[in-house]
Amino acid sequence: MSDKNNRKPGVSRPQGERDDRGFGEELFRQAPRGSGLFSVRQPILQPQQPPSRSGGVFDVSGTDCVETTRVTKLAPAKIEAPAEACLVQIYGPEIGKRYALDTPTFTIGRDISNSIVVDLDNVSRRHCALSNRGGKIYVSDLGSTNGTFLNGEELLEERLLSTGDLIKIGGAIFKFLYGGNVEALYYEEIYQMTIIDGLTQVNNKRYFLEFLEREMSRCRRYERDLSLLMFDIDHFKRVNDTYGHLAGDAVLRELGALFKTRVRREECFARYGGEEFALVLPETGLKAARQCGERFCSLVAEHEFIFEDTVIPTTISIGVAAMLPDTADTAQFIKLADDQLYRAKHEGRNRVCGPW
């Protein structure tokens, strides 16, 4: 037997002697979870004295052998973990707030027992639920009074969510984000909320004012045409009173979608506030701006705005203004178009007015 095997407890190891078993066990204990390192005990003959070589054959007789631990690296098991998912409130009482979907079931409603509490009168006590199954997120309505809407359509059965989906619950809208880069998506969404209106998904007033100021400066510098259209929905208060505020939201959202696809990239279409919108037309004179306004006016009057199988008659009034050499700033330019808008309303609505 070797000195090592006969060593009494408490006696130190001679200097330079290696404890291979202790090394393997320590490595196993320190191996991070999921690293693929597993301890496998295998007897390995390690001679303490070099074996002799005779006739090309190693002679290991008479040598002391010890049992050591070999640490074998195995391929980690391929377990597909669900990517991170969250909801971001982009419209409602807590705009910008993020909610991680880290539980099997997630509920939204007015009652304080819900995972997300939305304290609005048009939200049911238990409004809708999200389920995490197999790394995928599903949404379903819980028999709410006003319904749950996914990307503008009422949710009639459980649906699988995709990143970027919009969930409307009463007067609140949530955006679903999903994927390995959810953190980057969240910060991008926060930036978008500074320039995009949450309800209509068109540019907001802040972006509109910055865009208009830039275009006015360019117009002065290069002596280019610049026109502005201000318009709002006729009798919008009547829509809310007759059909409800959810119907009014639906009209605003559909109007935004209707115009958004018909605006050129170099133009700016924005929600100015309430039911009022604005359209900036660079490189466009008064005559072309009037024609554009008349097309939009006819487009809205002929379009069917439907909410819960009910057609909501909708028209708009438009005021048109062109930038003049003495137009000092954005406020004055907006007032020129606003004055024409009020004139269109006083003359009977559903029309376009301007200085022609």
Does position 29 have pLDDT exceeding 80, yes or no?
A: no
Contacts of residue 218, defined as CB under 8 A and 6 or more positions apart, other chains included, come to 224, 282
Does position 279 have pLDDT exceeding 60, yes or no?
A: yes
- Strand 352-353 to 116-117 pairing: unpaired
Lowest model confidence (mean pLDDT) among 137-151, 188-202, 229-243, 296-310: 188-202
DSSP state of 315: -
Nearest CA among 166, 200, 171 for reference residue 277? 200
- Which pLDDT score, from 0 to 100, does residue 346 have? 94
- The crossing angle, in degrees rounded to 10, of helices 245-260 and 286-302 is 130
Tokens encoding 45: 């003959």
CA distances for 26 relative to 35, 68, 69, 75, 76, angstroms: 15, 13, 11, 20, 20
Pick the catalytic residue: 275, 276, 294, 304?
275
* Terminal Cα distance for the chain, rounded: 113
- What's the CA gap between 171 and 120, in Å, rounded? 7
> Where do the DSSP E strands lie in 113-243?
116-117, 128-133, 136-141, 148-150, 153-154, 159-160, 166-169, 172-178, 226-233
Active site residue 275: yes
**Sign, Cα dihedral of 220, 222, 224, 230:** negative
- What's the CA gap between 123 and 171, in Å, rounded? 7
The per-residue pLDDT for range 46-73, each reduced to its tens digit, is 555 555 554 445 454 555 555 555 655 5
* Band of pLDDT at residue 83, cut at 50, 70 and 90: low
- Which pLDDT score, from 0 to 100, does residue 71 have? 55
- Report percent pLDDT > 90 for the chain: 66
